Amino acid sequence: MSHKTELLKKIENKKAVCAVIGLGYVGLPLAVELANAGFSVRGVDVDSEKAGMIGKGESYIPDVSDEDLQKAVKSGRLTAGGDYSVIIECDTVNICVPTPLRKTRDPDISYIVEALEEIKKYVHPGMLIVLESTSYPGTTEEIVVSELTGSKLQVGKDIFVAFSPERVDPGNPVYHTGNIPKIVGGVTSECTDVAAALYGHVVEKIHAVSSTRVAEMIKLLENTFRSVNIGLVNEIALMCNQMGINVWEVIEGAATKPFGFMPFFPGPGLGGHCIPIDPFYLSWKARSVGFEARFIELAGQVNSYMPLHVVGKAMDALNAAGKSVSGSKVMILGVAYKKNIDDTRESPALDIISKLNVKGAEIVFADPYVDELAVEGIDSSIEKVELNKATLSEADLVVIIADHDAFDYELVLKHAPLILDTRNALKGAGGDRVWSI
């Protein structure tokens, strides 16, 4: 019996043991889905605190309920720890580690390389390895395959390697790991078959493509599409600001067209682990083959400027009220990178807070999802306050960055003396006291 046939049989009978490397926003939901589908899952993460919480059935990811996690753990199908040696008993490995940018905006794939260095100690014939971490086209073949085939294992015969990009949208109440179509591209067609078979047990729809490079490019296109269109609408917002036009009304009107227009919305800047980062993976790869990705770079420049624009609007609002930003108390509403989540990675709030702090403002924040906030360049953590009449009244300016549904915007309108709304959360209400971007 071939390794492919044997592995497919294990997957079909749910006898395959699955490892998930990296138990963050991507890895934990996948591990829970696999476990609750009937597979035995070994979660691996260098953060021992995560493993401890999983063992207690306490989820640290908003998209994974305690109930679903406890179901997986209590069944005995999901365990977690920091020891990679569990891979020796596994048939499949999903790599879900971070892929940030360096300060030079070059791809940082060190987490992938570190994971592979551990995985290759235990790789064996009849194993599937899938990379889910976003990276540039060619990563799977150039990095994953080269690391794992040093033991003379033949890809497509002895081991099976594929790329299947994560499509997680934290906080989305409609789409989750199970109902988002899954892109799968293998190094060989045999690799694609095996990976598709595994995901077929936890995802409603599989879309197989011809190669890992195509799959890698699909992920980058998806987020570059958003980045470029957000960059466009941010530039329109800057233009409308100069012309005295309400950009939100413009977008609302344009969105009534039933074809040829898709509404995107301006904001204080991009955040999260994907949209601010992935386009630069693509432009970096493009430069390596002598192609200049001008749209991508320009969108990045516009989007990166938005926090500075917000600080400028904050200064304008305070000046109009006869106050200087230096010495003024500024309350930031929402420090997550988007509404209804706790993720502050790359949040524009961090840059805005930093710039306001440099100008002498006293900063506090309110966010029902975030308990502590550290900002680079500021020695102490930013004070968290409750959103109430007293804290609103004490602030010279309230800046809405993440428009969480949990915020009482009527309370904000009633008691905040001055508001800068970067998300149109107040829908233009409040008269002269409410400023927009």
- Domain ranges for the chain: 3-217, 248-436
Quickly state the pLDDT bin for 74 (edges 50, 70, 90): very high
Q: Which residues of 197-211 are buried (b: 16+ CB within 10 A; e: fewer)?
A: bbbbebbeebebbeb
Q: Please determine, for residue 173, whether its predicted confidence score (pLDDT) is greater than 80.
A: yes
Mean pLDDT of 206-223: 97
Q: Choose between 380 and 408: higher pLDDT.
A: 408
- pLDDT score at 106: 82
pLDDT > 90: what percent of the chain?
88
Q: What is the pLDDT of residues 16-67, one digit of tens each?
A: 999 999 999 999 999 999 999 999 999 999 999 999 999 999 999 988 999 9
Superfamily of domain 3-217: NAD(P)-binding Rossmann-like Domain (3.40.50.720)
User: Which entry of 18, 90, 96, 274 is annotated as an active-site residue?
Assistant: 274
Calculate mean pLDDT across residues 264-290.
90
Can you give the pLDDT at residue 388?
Answer: 97
Q: Report pLDDT digits (tens) over 224-258.
A: 999 999 999 999 999 999 999 999 999 999 999 99
Task: Give the C-alpha separation, 209 to 282, whole Å.
Answer: 19
Residue position matching structure tokens 């804290």: 391
Q: Is the pLDDT of residue 150 over 80?
A: no
Protein fold of 248-436: Rossmann fold (3.40.50)
More confident residue, 152 or 338: 338
Average pLDDT, the chain: 95
Q: How far apart are CA 232 and CA 299, in angstroms?
A: 7
Q: Distance between CA atoms of 16 and 126, rounded to whole angstroms?
A: 11
Kindly tell me if the per-residue pLDDT of 151 is higher than 70.
no
Strand bridging mode 362-366 / 383-384:
parallel
Is 434:414 a contact under the CB 8 Å cutoff? no
- pLDDT exceeds 80 at position 416: yes
Q: Do domains 3-217 and 248-436 have the same CATH topology?
A: yes
Q: How much is the average pLDDT of 120-145?
A: 96
What is the arithmetic mean of pLDDT over 293-322?
Answer: 96
Token pair in block for residue 126: 């009849």
Would you call 274 a catalytic residue per the annotation?
yes
Closest CA to 44 of 4, 81, 2: 81
pLDDT above 70 (res 279): yes
C-beta of residue 398 within 8 angstroms of C-beta of residue 435: no
**pLDDT (tens digit per residue) in 75-86:** 999 999 999 999
With bands split at pLDDT 50, 70 and 90, how would you rate the model's confidence at 357?
very high
Hey, which bits of 382-423 come out as E strands?
383-384, 397-400, 419-421
Q: How far is CA 358 from the centre of its chain?
A: 28
Residue 176 and residue 52: Cα distance in Å, rounded?
Answer: 24
pLDDT at 272: 84
Least confident of 94-98, 146-150, 178-182, 385-389: 146-150
pLDDT (average), residues 139-165:
92
* Banded pLDDT at 192 (limits 50, 70, 90): very high
How far lies 218's CA from each of 145, 162, 278, 285, in Å?
Answer: 20, 14, 11, 14
